[in-house]
Chains A and B, each alone.
Chain A
Amino acid sequence: MSNSRLFARLLLQQNGVRNCYTASRKHLYIDKDTKVICQGFTGKQGTFHSQQAIDYGSRLVGGVSPGKGGRTHLGVPVFNSVKEAREGTGAEATVIYVPPPFAGAAIMEAIDAGMPLVVCITEGIPQQDMVKVKHKLLRQSTTRLIGPNCPGVINPGECKIGIMPGHIHKKGRIGIGGDPFNGTNFIDCLEVFLQDPKTEGIILIGEIGGNAEENAADYLKQHNSGTNAKPVVSFIAGLTAPPGRRMGHAGAIIAGGKGGAKEKIAALQQAGVVVSMSPAQLGSTMFKEFEKRKML
């Protein structure tokens, strides 16, 4: 009996609570008007990447560095807390360059301040911290988290939040990060891209470990089929990684039949995704898909 009660509670959690957080997906969409602040602003990483962002043309309106509020850094104001920064600038997005011991708390602070978009670059946050963050995240609908351990999100020519080089991008791109407890998964991104009229095709890059790609395949089967389906091209890294070996970004391990590249590729193909065996061919593969659908 306790098992069925547990099951019911989980189901409720998954359905009821997930609807809550999924409402924040729209905040993934950034543009030239998006006001961004930086947490960890005066640190080495924060300073370097903020300067890059300013050079790119992102609207960086301020930053947070506890104890240094009131100063100016890189030409914009520094605040003591995210709440103050949001009140002082009207910022809608924050990027976090805070070291692992404090990054979890930094994300929590941004959620508490009602920040619509949080991008956390930090790698190496303890799992327990992220479990708590995720727990809080799922029970609200204002804040959308990307990351941690991710390069960020970019809308080329308009806004760049993260560490990726600006000049190589021509189409929208989101790097969601390789950690198992992350704020945004493939499905979150797919929903935005499938609904965005300006997005014509989607390239999904995956890696061994976990089952995010399999879940994405399920989602695509349900939401991207028929005549209006957008072409999706994918590449999965780690095809030749043997089980038990730790490889890649977050040290992914293939365990017991789940998380292997072959399984992911099969799942995606069944959902109508064209899987490229080499990252170099992603462009040409997508081009062929556009040709097939006479989209050129």
Chain B
Amino acid sequence: MSAKAISEQTGKEFLYKYICTSAAVQNRFRYANVTTETDFDRLAQDHPWLLTERLVVKPDQLIKRRGKLGLVGVNLDLKGVQEWLKTRLMRETMVGKAKGILKNFLIEPFVAHKQEEEFYVCIYATREGDYVLFHHEGGVDVGDVDAKASKLLVGVDEKLTEDAVRKQLLTHVAADIKEVLASFIVGLFNLYQDLYFTYLEINPLVVTKDGVFVLDMAAKIDATADYLCKAKWGDVEFPPPFGREAYPEEAYIADLDAKSGASLKLTLLNPRGRIWTMVAGGGASVVYSDTICDLGGVDELANYGEYSGAPSEQQTYDYAKTILSLMTREKHPDGKVLIIGGSIANFTNVAATFKGIVRAIRDYQGPIKEHEITIFVRRGGPNYQEGLRVMGEVGKTTGIPIHVFGTETHMTAIVGMALGHRPIPKEPPVAAHTANFLLNSSASSSVGYTGTPAPSHRAFQWQKEAQGNK
């Protein structure tokens, strides 16, 4: 499962579109998105209310506690909003320890209201079911909700009733708005379940005599439910956390990932860094990142990612070429290193994946040499001998320094070598011929599947012997 955050705008869009409630939800679809490319005249045409109402403006970039950070402009007209934005749009800001650029804003109608009309609602998922939190004193100063709010657990396969909401959550609420709030909260809960939210927080939720206003929203949805909710979600975007950019290369890999049973992940941390990784496996990739940081490489670590689950040669080629393309955009005075690592593959055919990587290396050999990239390889798994062999070969034929290691070397030893902390040992002898022990007797597969052949016990004996003979 993968609970991912969505923007405030997306959350509100879902809410306005799909909530079923008798409560009078106001300002439906009244939000205007602003970026550095926004033409305000055009914007006013698309959203005429911008010219007639007082407005609120704030960044929509998964930033918490914007009020306290002075990032909310309140009760302005459109000109005032533009003035407010002048000093903030495309400005670098610190939010906590994250440094980022404010580039995506939301303008909404200003809703005049009293403090007593602000409420807090939150729904979130746990193992035993979903919790609904409510506090009658919402807003910027709501404080510690875990301690103060009323809580109600909706167990697995249970429904939320207005009665339960009234009795257990709305005890401190005035009688005349209990009806409205109960209906809204039940409607919100059903929306939360139907659209596979895992987290939904509205603070403040404002209820006046004019109706219900959703002034703010933070939400997460279960991305693995895409196949169920595609029709309702549409092409939903998952914004990166504040301080990190979303790169087209990440989107490209995410697309490859979505189309495949294999796993292909890429996150760019510091594209100008000199330490790049292409590691197989979720577990191993975390360990490699740990080791790189442990050895002082955290500032130069360019990316985090992994490939696993037996991607094809083509998929691995696409993945590798993306990394190589990113590595060869800018030169680094100290040259760069590419760590092609992994543990022992469960069942991924290492010969196939490495052939894809090697093809990419060959295609990029010019830029690789220009940018002074050294490559370190460590891997084990089905047919790894063949994989290591082709790696060693492409290094020889292209003149790129490629250091190749198998399971006789510890998984993360190549990190020390890559960072210059330990000498590069004389490499173990790689088989000079193509090892064909990988082919199982095809009679054993009675359904003509085209999966990768399984190595036999005999093959592993051969490998053990080969290692013993060094």
Contacts and interface: CB of A to CB of B under 8 A. Distances in A.
B454 A51 contact: yes
A277 B290 CA distance: 10
Interface in A240-296: 240-241, 244-251, 277-280
B449 A10 contact: no
B444 A237 contact: no
Contact of A248 (B3, B261, B283): B283
Contacts of B381: 165
B129 interface: yes
B289 A240 contact: yes
Contacts of B286: 207-208, 237-238, 241, 247-248
B263 interface: yes
B452 A131 contact: no
Contacts of A171: none
A101 interface: yes
A134 B127 contact: yes
A237 B263 CA distance: 19
Among B152, B156, B293, residue most surrounded by chain A Cβ atoms (within 10 Å): B156
B375 to A, nearest CB: 21
Interface in B242-298: 261, 263, 267, 282-283, 285-287, 289-294, 298
Interface residues of A, number: 62
Given A10-B128, A135-B156, A240-B289, A100 B449 contact: no
B454 A55 contact: yes
Interface residues of B, number: 64
B456 A181 contact: no
Contact of B227 (A73, A101, A167): A101
B225 A48 contact: no
Contacts of B222: 126-128
A17 B440 CA distance: 48
A165 B454 CA distance: 10
A231 interface: no
Nearest to B289: A240
A126 B346 contact: no
A74 B1 CA distance: 32
Interface string A143-171: 00000000100000000000111011000
A239 B294 contact: yes
A31 B87 CA distance: 69
Contacts of A241: 286, 289-290
A131 B127 contact: yes
Nearest to B263: A123
13 contacts: A44-B449, A125-B1, A126-B224, A127-B224, A132-B157, A151-B346, A165-B344, A181-B127, A239-B294, A244-B241, A245-B267, A277-B294, A279-B287
Interface of B: 1-3, 98, 125, 127-129, 150-153, 155-157, 167-168, 193, 196, 198, 222, 224-225, 227-228, 241, 261, 263, 267, 282-283, 285-287, 289-294, 298, 304, 309, 344-347, 381-382, 410-413, 444-447, 449, 451-452, 454, 456-457, 460
In the A-B complex, list the 10 residue pairs whose CB atoms are closest, starting with the nearest.
A240-B293, A249-B282, A280-B410, A135-B156, A126-B225, A48-B451, A237-B286, A127-B1, A167-B460, A163-B346
